[in-house]
Amino acid sequence: MKEQLIIFDTTLRDGEQSPGASMTRDEKKVRIAKALERLRVDVIEAGFPAASPGDFEAVQAVAKVIKDSTVCGLSRALDNDIDRAGAALKDASRSRIHTFIATSPIHMQMKLHMTPEQVIEHAVRAVKRARQYTDDVEFSPEDAGRSEEDFLCRILEAVIDAGARTLNIPDTVGYSVPQQFGATIANLIHRIPNSDKAIFSVHCHNDLGLAVANSLAAVMNGARQVECTINGLGERAGNASLEEVVMAVRTRQDVFACQTRIETREILTCSKLVSSITGFPVQPNKAIVGANAFAHEAGIHQDGVLKSRETYEIMRAEDVGWSANRMVLGKHSGRNAFKTRMNELGIEFNSEEEINDAFSRFKQLADKKHEIFDEDLQALISEVGFEA
């Protein structure tokens, strides 16, 4: 039996920090939370209760209805933030408080105006206070990607002693690269004397387009929780995309020592729901959930897939919620795909000449039109007068 990789979804918190993606009404957040629960995410970060009365109410509303996932609230390492998170999560079946403070030299000096010692004191105090509300406390050294490893070791050892059970290593500004980030995770686990008392987690931003790669490198080096969002939504260039992390781990079980409990067939529904509520469209070539993710247009590919899907598909479209893969008929399509689609439409050809004639008309049309739809094929057939 493989170890579990905990999937921590932060669509409702970091995802909502996408400029323009505000999910204003509680009812919308609750709809997304229920979809995440059906997806079987382990932890739903529902918001930042101290940020605003609206955020508080949204976390409270999510905490009341979700039964199968842990509901988490974010808080700075401040007494009031922690108390607000504790209050918002009061009705949750399982609750987690996630508290954070920055640990990089630039954040400590320019933003917090604190010494490293003061930062450790705040972190320890925050974790102890959070433990008064729940046994499940997560701590994040914000901007860990640009923090000194020695200082990370010190603060993480101290917060474990204070009662933190998940240590989340955020690459807040998406600065890390996979090999180096993976090595950092391995070093932390190895160097922190009490590291066996906590689960290591990662939270990667996508400023260099490396959020998923960095998360996976961390998993290969011992991280057992990944923080991610549906469609990769999130602050600036976004967070690691849940669907990509989950399907990479599932598809490459030969290289990962762990597995998730995600119900992958719910992925597409979740993606569409988040896209419609936030108004953020999913780009067609987005892995897993983009309209073209399982579409084939090139003739050689179509021919291969018609003979055996594994020739050009590493996952089954149905496993992530699509009803099937899709053959796009266009100028790159081959004869086999054309004939197969025609047969599916009930059109049988009586001779090779008929096929050749129809196929050459189809190619002429495809030169003028980007994608050929079923209606175009019907029209083409009625022009030449084949029997349907």
Binding residues for ligand KIV, rule: CB under 6 A, are: 14, 74, 100, 140, 142, 168, 170, 172, 203, 205
CB 174 within 8 A of CB 208: yes
Minimum distance of ligand KIV from residue 140's CB (angstroms): 4
Q: Is 122 annotated as a binding residue?
A: no
Amino acid at 154: R
Query: Using CA atoms, how far apart are residues 295 and 328, in angstroms rounded to an integer?
Result: 6
Query: Using CA atoms, how far apart are residues 141 and 102, in angstroms rounded to an integer?
Result: 5
Given ligand KIV, Zn ion, none, residue 140, with its beta carbon under 5 to 8 Å by kind, binds ligand KIV
Minimum distance of ligand KIV from residue 66's CB (angstroms): 21
Position 42 contacts Zn ion (CB under 5 A): no
Given ligand KIV, Zn ion, none, residue 142, with its beta carbon under 5 to 8 Å by kind, binds ligand KIV
Q: Which is nearer to Zn ion, 48 or 362 (CB)?
A: 48
Which H or E run includes 368? Answer: helix 352-368
DSSP assignment letter at 283: P
- Among 1-9, 14-22, 32-40, 345-353, the segment contacting Zn ion (CB under 5 A): 14-22
Q: Is 203 annotated as a binding residue?
A: yes
Instruction: Centre a 10 Å sphere on the Cβ of residue 374 and count the other Cβ atoms it contains.
Output: 12
Q: Which is nearer to ligand KIV, 45 or 266 (CB)?
A: 45
Minimum distance of ligand KIV from residue 68's CB (angstroms): 24
Query: Using CA atoms, how far apart are residues 228 and 211, in angstroms rounded to an integer?
Result: 9
Map residue 296 onto helix, strand or coil. strand
Map residue 160 onto helix, strand or coil. helix
Minimum distance of Zn ion from residue 51's CB (angstroms): 14
CB 18 within 8 A of CB 278: yes
Q: Is 301 annotated as a binding residue?
A: no
Query: Is the Cα torsion angle 254, 256, 260, 263 positive or negative in sign?
Result: negative
Minimum distance of ligand KIV from residue 299's CB (angstroms): 45
Q: Which is nearer to Zn ion, 215 or 264 (CB)?
A: 215
Q: Which is nearer to ligand KIV, 100 or 181 (CB)?
A: 100
Looking from the CA of 302 toward its CB, the CA atoms found within 13 Å total 21
Given Zn ion, ligand KIV, none, residue 122, with its beta carbon under 5 to 8 Å by kind, binds none
CB 28 within 8 A of CB 47: no
Given Zn ion, ligand KIV, none, residue 221, with its beta carbon under 5 to 8 Å by kind, binds none
Minimum distance of ligand KIV from residue 364's CB (angstroms): 53
Query: Using CA atoms, how far apart are residues 23 and 39, in angstroms rounded to an integer?
Result: 20
Minimum distance of ligand KIV from residue 96's CB (angstroms): 13
Residue with nearest beta carbon to Zn ion: 14
The backbone region for 330, taken as left when phi is positive above 0, alpha when psi lies in -120 to 50, beta otherwise, is beta
Q: Output the six-digit token pair for 10.
A: 């932060």
Minimum distance of ligand KIV from residue 51's CB (angstroms): 11
Those residues with Cβ within 8 angstroms of residue 368's Cβ, 6 or more apart along the chain or in another chain: none
Q: Which is nearer to ligand KIV, 178 or 334 (CB)?
A: 178
Q: Which is nearer to Zn ion, 97 or 366 (CB)?
A: 97
Q: Which is nearer to Zn ion, 66 or 233 (CB)?
A: 233
How many residues appear in the chain?
388
Position 14 contacts Zn ion (CB under 5 A): yes
Position 171 contacts Zn ion (CB under 5 A): no
Q: Is 239 annotated as a binding residue?
A: yes
Query: Using CA atoms, how far apart are residues 334 and 168, in angstroms rounded to an integer?
Result: 50
Position 55 contacts Zn ion (CB under 5 A): no
Binding-site residues, please? 14, 203, 205, 239
Residues forming the site for Zn ion (CB under 5 A): 14
Binding-site residues for Mn(2+), please? 14, 203, 205, 239
